[in-house]
A and B are shown apart, each in its own frame.
Chain A
């Protein structure tokens, strides 16, 4: 008797797992039959909610206030996109490497997270065109290091955030058009990839000495300086980044219409100066104009 119960319990456990999967698959199949139901934009509008991924590590793009509210440039842009789509925006907070890895599995719909558009990322992600703002990547060094020119960076250890264009560029992987590149990667360097850009800054702040240099976007260097970290920009920027809204290429639903619609919204937001206004509000300058033009 006991054995039968245990056996059936185990069976039940596994069957429930299997039935869970097959359920989902079936519903997926049926939805692909009905054309409109397979459209991502239609689904978002039906639900009235768009799930936007954001990583609230970064002031002033995306961070949390003491009350736990999302604020920042990316947040404002995301909310405006939601407004123009006529849906509510809900923020989701996956880690950065999950976002750039693609295969989101429908856990969030779009990324408004200052993501640089690169050829490699375009293999797994779709991007809204044009970019919603531009930033430049630059080296920063500690004030005490004596590193002030780009040539000084050669032979040094350099900290970067993992899975970023900064890391790729240092490793010699070029994913931008030539016009965006302002310098060649330094020679004989040691790349130290940490979990976020802020870990690089923090390491310097607490007096660790594995590296005195890090490579990141201008906005992050400025935020660090503003927060009293003893660092300065080194030389001129090394490349420009086009930051765009991203979508999952492998999403279960067809996102062609959504990408088009969001691209149209971005164009409008450039035209009516909404983006410029946000940029001036958060960066104190207009960073929405393409620097390569």
Chain B
């Protein structure tokens, strides 16, 4: 940049830059205003107001805000459990996905079969079914898991199958040249994995894991079906039913889920930006 700002003359590149910035500012302003108006429309839809607009009767959903104020704290008590469930499940899922990816890349028939069998079985059945199955099926084998542990197992095993592909892509992203070079200087397979492949693969794998975590936050709601895990949706449904205010209770739960995903999306964006630094 040349600092000729003392004179009024601006170089063409500076003018272009200014124009670009103006456009960008206008775009962002437009986005924020649109978000705000969409939010206002959404709030209006739940305001319970009735309006006459050009002769058309507009009805909105009426909510008992007193109920919401009174019961929101109890439902909020499930936020910690929802995050905890997602957190442990994603850790289990990552471990399984790593093993699954190694299995998918393995040259041993049995190991390859084991990995593909696992992926096929889990991806071929609904998550809700798996959660109920873990909860109902395992006690028959004499394994009695608490609702929480059964939930973590089911979610972890399910997500692990889907995340296998993420890990496989990460491992395969390390070029063959690097592998050959490592082997050429006498590294063992294990050293090759530890020193060459994994450090590079992990950087690629973490952002999609963040994505999966955000998806997981909402899928934890499925664990409420067993009735034992007092996460957000379970609490909302119980309070809603007992007081005949289901809609209000679900409204509260929806807000909490939404806020949670917004927060974790922001965090994930940061992490992604941080990890992408080295790429430039």
Contacts and interface: CB of A to CB of B under 8 A. Distances in A.
Interface string B203-233: 0000000000000000000000111101000
Contact of B111 (A7, A20, A68, A202): A7
Contact of B103 (A6, A64, A94, A223): A6
A10 B74 contact: no
Report which residue of A1, A9, A68 has the largest number of chain B beta carbons within 10 angstroms of its beta carbon: A68
Nearest to A95: B227
Interface stretch (B7-15, B35-43, B238-246): B238-246
Contact of A2 (B189, B244, B247): B189
Nearest to B72: A66
Contact of B226 (A1, A95, A227): A95
Query: For the side of the interface on B, what is the size category?
Result: 35 or more
Contact of B141 (A7, A10, A21, A67): A21
B144 interface: yes
A24 interface: yes
Interface in B41-81: 70-71, 73-74, 77
A241 interface: no
Given A68-B77, A94-B226, A94-B228, A21 B111 contact: no
A229 B64 CA distance: 14
B126 to A, nearest CB: 17
A256 interface: no
A164 interface: no
Interface string A196-223: 1011011001100000000000000001
Main secondary structure of the interface of B (DSSP, over half): helix
Interface string A102-113: 010111000000
Interface residues of A, number: 43
A55 interface: yes
Interface string A82-98: 00000000001111001
A3 B139 contact: no
Interface string B112-137: 00100000000000000000000010
A10 B111 contact: yes
Interface string A51-65: 000011111000110
B142 A25 contact: yes
A106 B241 CA distance: 27
B189 A56 contact: no
Contact of A105 (B99, B114, B140): B140
A199 B238 CA distance: 11
A141 to B, nearest CB: 17
Interface string A4-27: 011101100000000011001100
A183 B148 CA distance: 45
B74 A64 contact: yes
B241 A21 contact: no
A105 B70 CA distance: 36
Contacts of A25: 142
A58 B136 CA distance: 24
Given A5-B190, A92-B228, A105-B139, 17 more contacts: A1-B190, A2-B193, A6-B102, A10-B114, A21-B142, A57-B242, A63-B242, A63-B243, A64-B239, A64-B242, A66-B70, A93-B230, A93-B234, A95-B227, A98-B227, A198-B244, A201-B244
Interface of A: 1-3, 5-7, 9-10, 20-21, 24-25, 28, 55-59, 63-64, 66-68, 92-95, 98, 103, 105-107, 196, 198-199, 201-202, 205-206, 223-224, 227, 229
27 contacts: A1-B188, A2-B189, A7-B108, A10-B99, A10-B103, A10-B111, A10-B114, A20-B143, A21-B142, A24-B142, A56-B238, A56-B242, A57-B241, A59-B242, A63-B243, A66-B71, A93-B227, A93-B228, A94-B228, A105-B144, A106-B139, A107-B144, A198-B240, A198-B244, A202-B244, A205-B244, A224-B244
